[in-house]
A = this chain, B = another copy of it.
Amino acid sequence: MMVSCVKEFFTYQTNKSVVVKSWTIGIINRVVQLLIIAYFIGWVFMHEKAYQTRDTAIESSVMTKVKGFGMYNNHVMDVADYVTPTQGASMFCLITKIIKTENQVQGSCPEFISSKERKYKCTNDSQCEEGKQASTGVLTGKCVDFSEKDKSCQVKGWCPAENDHVVIPPMMEVENFTIFIKNSIRFPLFDFTKGNFLPNISKDHIGKCNFDPVLDKFCPIFKVGDVLRFAHQDFPNLAAKGGVIGIKIGWVCDLDRSEDECIPSYSFTRLDAMSQSNNVSTGYNFRFAKYYKMENGTEYRTLLKAYAIRFDVLVYGNAGKFNMIPTLINMVAAFTSVGVGTVLCDIILLNFLKGADQYKAKKFEEVTEAEVVRSTSLVDGMYRTREHSQLSIRLDEKQSSDSGAFPLVRYD
């Protein structure tokens, strides 16, 4: 009994097949199989590189350094003046325009009004609600002289109040500033490290080159004007209003090839592009202050409203390397997928080919509930042997030729 059970277990079961020797369907079959194989070899293996494991958790460090001098308000501005934050990280702003309000101290003063900004103009105290937050401070509830002819609400806060309605030109030299980007990446899965200073570039060349997408596409020094042009932006406009530019560094590496072919590709885009198409709050600016102290200990400050071009260096990438496991899995998938072609071929064979009925008859064998029940009752009460029951079925054997009428759910 035990032996029989073990014997029963170690059997192999394979599908019974019908081999159709027909040129028409034979050619269709092979063409479909060829397409499937081509898809796997061409797309899955060659294009998608399914034989590789992929590391997408790129580790990256970016250091940036800006060079250049600009003239602004008769001052020579250097890096420490116009770059912020100063750490040389992947995000930095180049200040292109500054509205300065010097020597502010805590106190009370009239809100700023001009022909453009008339919100806090007043004629008597009742127009100035005490405690209300105005543009540059908190209203005291008084209406005071702003100029010889105008009165405005008095505010408590840093005085004098800021006038940011002045029209001043941006620092045009920014266009010629250069951005030096040092980017080092690592794929932790393969412990592969590389930097954007390729070994075939000499130290001398790096010192004086300028990035160009055609002529010098691995130079790590970028002229601001060039970057804006590559991102299809107009310098004077951007310098006046401010904006955010993305410098993207892509590392897509096939580590089965030579290390030298793992190279960075640079691309440029305006990140706040939405600003342009929308009139609401265009550009990019922010306020900060420099604090000073008088001899008597009183703090005073210079308030700066800075318009800036912000640069975001974005690093992305992935690397692949041959690995047995995905190769095997995808090869098995490819082999088994070849059989998917039968779905299409069966539809053609059993519906559109000459002699379809004959093919159906060959493919399908029919067994009905009625027959089974009848044969079961025949042997009822008898000692049921395997042979008996099978004989009885045989008598009723009939082959179906009208199957395949619902091909969608039938051929698999």
Q: Is A158 engaged at the interface, CB distance under 8 Å to the other chain?
A: yes
Name the residue of chain B whose CB is nearest to the CB of A188: B269
Residues of the B chain whose Cβ atoms lie less than 8 Å from the Cβ of A402: 8, 386
A271–B65 touching, CB < 8 Å: no
B12–A15 touching, CB < 8 Å: no
Tally of this chain's copies: 3
CB within 8 A of A342: which of B272, B289, B362, B412?
B412
Residues of the B chain whose Cβ atoms lie less than 8 Å from the Cβ of A291: 290, 292
CB within 8 A of A14: which of B349, B372, B406?
B349
B401–A389 touching, CB < 8 Å: yes
Which stretch, A86-94, A120-128, A145-153, A163-171, touches the partner chain B? Answer: A86-94
Residues of the B chain whose Cβ atoms lie less than 8 Å from the Cβ of A293: 292
Which stretch, A54-62, A110-118, A210-218, touches the partner chain B? Answer: A54-62
A86–B195 touching, CB < 8 Å: no
Tell me the chain A residues, 351-371 only, with Cβ under 8 Å from chain B. Answer: 354-355, 357-359, 361-369, 371
CB within 8 A of A26: which of B10, B78, B286, B308?
B10
Q: Is A38 engaged at the interface, CB distance under 8 Å to the other chain?
A: no
Complex CA gap A314/B93 in Å reads 20
A364–B19 touching, CB < 8 Å: yes
Q: Contacts A12-B22, A14-B346, A400-B19 known; A358 to B194 CB distance under 8 Å? A: no
29 sample A-B contacts, Cβ–Cβ < 8 Å, listed by A number: A11-B21, A12-B25, A12-B28, A13-B19, A15-B16, A17-B364, A19-B366, A20-B369, A21-B367, A57-B316, A59-B248, A61-B244, A61-B272, A61-B312, A63-B244, A69-B138, A85-B85, A86-B286, A86-B287, A87-B308, A87-B310, A89-B91, A193-B274, A195-B274, A197-B281, A199-B278, A336-B340, A357-B389, A361-B389
Residues of the B chain whose Cβ atoms lie less than 8 Å from the Cβ of A274: 184-185, 193-197
Residues of the B chain whose Cβ atoms lie less than 8 Å from the Cβ of A301: 80
Complex CA gap A85/B16 in Å reads 74
Residues of the B chain whose Cβ atoms lie less than 8 Å from the Cβ of A27: 10
Q: Is A258 engaged at the interface, CB distance under 8 Å to the other chain?
A: no
CB within 8 A of A157: which of B78, B386, B406?
B78
Q: Is A403 engaged at the interface, CB distance under 8 Å to the other chain?
A: yes
Complex CA gap A65/B288 in Å reads 12
Complex CA gap A81/B57 in Å reads 34
A367–B373 touching, CB < 8 Å: no
